[in-house]
C-alpha cells in the first residue's frame, strides 16, 4: 500500500514584509553615512580642478611677462575710464591655447564693437571654477536696453577676478593709489604716439606697467587672481541705497546676481549698480582711519561702479569694486604672483588679507 504524501504547507522563499523593511532601513542608513563622504570627495575634486585652472592662468601671466617684460593691464583704456578697450584676460588668451579666439579679436576696437562679437562670446574652459560651473555666458540683452547702446548679444563669463588690491579707486593712473593699497591689476591708459605722417596712434602697451621686480612684498605673498564665482544665486548684488539688502535688477525682473565676463572691460555706475566686474578687492579704501574692508564671501556683495572719485584712490568712497567669493566651503582659492595657488580661509584677519592683496606695501604678511 502506498503511503499518502504530506499536505503540510511549505514556507515560501521570498522576504517577509518585516524583513524587506529592515533591508530598506539598512540601505538608507548606509546611504546617509556614505553621502557626506561622497560629497566631500566631489567637493575636493572640484576644488582641485579649480586649482588647476588657476595654475594655468598663472602660467599664462608668467608667459606674458616673459614675452613683454610686464604684466598685462587689468583694463586698457583710452580717455574713457568707464568703457575701456580690453581686459587683462583678453591679453593672456594666446598663452591659454586660445590663439584662434585671440586672432579673431581686433585690438584696435572696443570689446563691444561689432568686429569683436564672435570672439568675446567664446566660453574659455579654464576661466570657470568647476565647483561653480563648467560653462556660462552673460546675456547682454538687458544691458543693451539699460544703456541704449549696441553690444554683443552674449559674452563668455569668467569665475576669476584680477586682484586690484585693497582700494577701489577707478582711475586711469594707478600711481595715484598709495602702494600700501595698490594691487597688481588696475585701469591703465594706453601708450599714445604720433606716426611719421602726423597721425595720432595708440598701442596695446600700457603707460603704467607692473613688473615682477616691482613686487617688493614678494611674489609668493601677493595675490594675482582670486575667485569670483559668477552666475550663482548664492551671491547677490548689494543694493547701494539699502546696505545689507540684495538689489533688484529691473531689467531682469528679479534679484541681481553677481556676474562678470572675461572680455568686458567696462564698469557700471550709480545708475546701473548691478554688475560685478573683472576686478576683486579686499577693501574699498584700504587705509586708515577706515579701510572699508570687503570680506571674502560677503553676501550680498558689492557691485563694481565708477563713482567719479576725483582723488584717484577712492578717498570719497564713491567708487566700489566687488570682493572675492567662491562656492568652496570656508574660503577661496587664490593665485599668487609666483604662480602658486593656495586656499585662503574666509576667517583670515582683515589686515593680513589686505596686505596679501598689495604688491609693495611693505607689510609682513603670510598664510603660515
Q: Where are the domains of the chain?
A: 20-356
Identify the pLDDT of residue 124: 97
**pLDDT of 2:** 46
Element (H, E) at 61: helix 17-68
pTM for the structure as a whole:
0.88
What's the rounded Cα separation, in Å, for the pair 275 and 273?
Answer: 6
Number of H helices, E strands in the chain: 6, 13
- Distance, in Å, from the CA atom of 97 to the CA atom of 79, rounded to the nearest integer, reads 32
Give the per-residue pLDDT at 31.
75
Q: Do 50 and 131 contact (CB within 8 A), yes or no?
A: yes
Q: What pLDDT is recorded for position 352? A: 97
Give me the pLDDT at residue 364, please. Answer: 79
3-state secondary structure of 204: strand
Q: Given this model, what pLDDT does residue 306 score? A: 95
SS3 295: coil
Max CA distance (Å), the chain: 130
What is the block-wise mean pLDDT of the chain (368 residues), using blocks of 10 residues?
Answer: 49 68 80 64 78 97 97 92 93 95 94 97 97 94 83 97 98 95 96 71 84 97 98 96 92 88 94 94 97 97 94 95 96 97 96 97 80
User: Rounded to the nearest 5°, which phi and psi values hold at 275?
Assistant: -120, 140
CA torsion, points 210, 211, 217, 222, in degrees to nearest 10?
70
Residue 340 in contact with residue 177, Cβ under 8 Å? no
What is the rounded CA–CA span in Å between residue 282 and residue 359?
13
Amino acid at each position: 500500500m502506498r503511503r499518502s504524501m504530506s499536505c503540510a504547507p511549505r514556507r515560501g522563499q521570498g522576504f517577509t514584509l518585516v524583513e524587506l523593511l529592515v533591508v530598506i532601513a539598512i540601505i538608507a542608513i548606509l546611504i546617509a553615512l556614505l553621502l557626506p563622504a561622497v560629497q566631500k570627495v566631489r567637493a575636493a575634486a572640484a576644488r582641485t580642478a579649480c586649482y588647476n585652472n588657476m595654475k594655468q592662468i598663472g602660467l599664462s601671466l608668467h608667459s606674458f611677462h616673459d614675452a613683454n617684460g610686464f604684466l598685462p593691464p587689468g583694463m586698457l583704456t583710452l580717455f574713457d575710464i568707464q568703457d575701456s578697450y580690453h581686459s587683462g584676460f583678453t591679453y593672456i588668451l594666446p598663452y591659454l591655447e586660445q590663439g584662434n579666439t585671440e586672432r579673431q579679436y581686433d585690438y584696435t576696437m572696443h570689446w563691444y564693437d561689432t568686429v569683436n562679437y564672435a570672439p568675446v562670446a567664446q566660453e574659455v574652459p579654464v576661466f570657470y571654477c568647476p565647483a561653480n560651473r563648467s560653462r556660462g555666458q552673460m546675456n547682454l540683452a538687458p544691458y543693451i536696453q539699460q544703456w541704449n547702446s549696441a553690444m554683443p548679444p552674449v559674452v563668455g563669463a569668467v569665475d576669476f577676478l584680477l586682484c586690484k588690491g585693497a582700494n577701489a579707486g577707478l582711475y586711469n593712473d594707478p600711481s595715484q593709489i598709495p602702494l600700501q593699497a595698490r594691487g597688481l591689476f588696475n585701469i591703465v591708459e594706453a601708450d599714445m604716439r604720433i606716426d611719421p605722417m602726423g597721425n595720432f596712434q595708440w598701442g596695446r602697451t600700457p603707460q603704467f606697467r607692473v613688473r615682477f621686480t616691482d613686487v617688493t612684498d614678494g611674489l609668493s605673498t601677493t595675490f594675482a587672481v582670486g575667485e569670483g564665482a559668477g552666475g550663482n544665486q548664492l551671491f547677490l548684488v548689494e543694493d547701494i541705497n539699502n546696505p545689507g539688502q540684495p538689489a533688484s535688477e529691473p531689467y531682469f525682473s528679479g534679484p541681481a546676481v553677481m556676474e562678470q565676463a572675461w572680455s568686458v572691460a567696462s564698469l557700471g555706475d550709480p545708475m546701473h549698480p548691478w554688475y560685478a566686474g573683472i576686478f576683486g578687492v579686499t577693501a574699498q579704501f584700504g587705509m586708515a582711519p577706515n579701510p572699508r574692508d570687503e570680506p571674502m564671501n560677503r553676501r550680498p556683495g558689492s557691485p563694481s561702479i565708477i563713482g567719479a572719485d576725483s582723488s584717484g584712490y577712492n578717498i570719497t568712497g564713491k567708487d566700489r569694486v566687488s570682493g572675492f567669493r567662491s562656492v568652496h566651503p570656508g574660503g577661496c582659492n587664490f593665485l599668487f604672483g609666483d604662480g602658486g595657488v593656495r586656499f585662503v580661509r574666509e576667517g583670515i584677519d582683515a589686515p593680513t588679507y589686505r596686505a596679501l592683496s598689495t604688491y609693495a606695501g611693505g607689510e609682513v604678511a603670510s598664510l603660515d
